[in-house]
Amino acid sequence: MQRTRGSGRILRNTTLILLALLWAVPTWLVLVNASVPAGDYSGSPHWWPQGFGLFDNMAQAWDRARLGPAMGNSLLYAVTSSLLAILLAVMAAFAAVVMPVRRRTLWFWLIYSGALLPLQVFLRPLFLSYANLDLYDMQLGLVLVYAAIAVPFAFFIMRNYAMTLPREVIEAARIDGASWWRLFWQIHVPLSKSAMVAAFVFQFVAVWNDMLFGITLSASRNIRPVMAALAELQGVYTSVGPPVVLGGAILVSLPTVVLFFCAQRFFVNSLKLTR
């Protein structure tokens, strides 16, 4: 028995080390090549540091791609659409799990099926409908589409989490005469805060990193999200060089990294409650 446990521990540790290396090697290459001064870049990737020009490369990317306004736009889209999607998802999860609705499984698959379709299938109908409704190249249009595509996965998280909540609390509140509306806001939402924060982080990262809808549904620099701006910087690839592009990529990834570490304890709490 001890030998089996020992071999299992070795296998687990080896797997974790390999996964860490798979993540660390590309990250190392990005950091090393983003730190190479743009004028000293030879055209081939470096495995070891060759000078330090990371901050200069970031400054060039910031100025040439106008990343400041673009990051402000992405912050607006990511926060607004994620909050809207989570509100709709937690309400749908409450209805599908707590309230006495018929065909719960059907409702689950009907909502969650939106996460199973490739996003590319929505591009043409969205572009045509947005052009007809004057939503093309508007912030409202991007907020709506980001919220719509975020609902299915957020619903998946909230519904699975709602199934782990104690039924006795809901039944006791109903016996005491609490309405569904009061039960939702005063009991269900407070109990689901950890899952809501986890879902918010997932959706924020997904919206922040999206480029597909950003380049399809926007054209103006004051509307486009940050990944569309970064793509434009990469479009002028020969004039700025790969170190500047990589420096810009590191710069725009910092908000998502900070958000994840700030919300890390909510992930741990949600995992403890669902065990």
Report pLDDT digits (tens) over 105-117: 888 888 888 778 7
Report the distance separating Cα 273 and Cα 26, nearest Å: 34
pLDDT at 144: 92
pLDDT at 274: 46
pTM for the full model? Answer: 0.81
DSSP state letter for 66: T
Residuewise pLDDT in 10s, the chain (275 residues): 555 566 667 887 888 888 888 888 888 887 877 777 777 777 777 777 777 777 888 888 888 878 888 899 999 999 999 999 999 999 998 888 887 778 878 888 888 887 787 888 888 888 888 888 888 888 898 999 999 888 999 998 888 888 887 777 777 777 777 777 888 888 888 888 888 888 898 899 999 998 888 888 888 888 889 888 888 776 644 567 777 888 888 888 888 888 888 877 666 655 554 44
CA distances from 30 to 23, 33, 66, 69, 127 (A): 11, 5, 21, 24, 34
Per-residue model confidence (pLDDT) at position 161: 85
Task: Supply the pLDDT for residue 5.
Answer: 61
Structure tokens at 198: 């986890």
Using alpha carbons only, give the angle 99, 105, 107 rounded to the nearest 5 degrees: 70
| 137's tokens | 């190249």
Radius of gyration of the chain (CA): 23
d(CA 37, CA 31): 12
Per the CB < 8 A criterion, the answer to whether 210 and 145 are in contact is no
- The whole-angstrom separation of Cα 92 and Cα 51 is 54
pLDDT at 90: 92
Express each pLDDT in 180-232 by its tens digit. Answer: 788 888 888 888 888 888 889 889 999 999 888 888 888 888 888 988 888 87
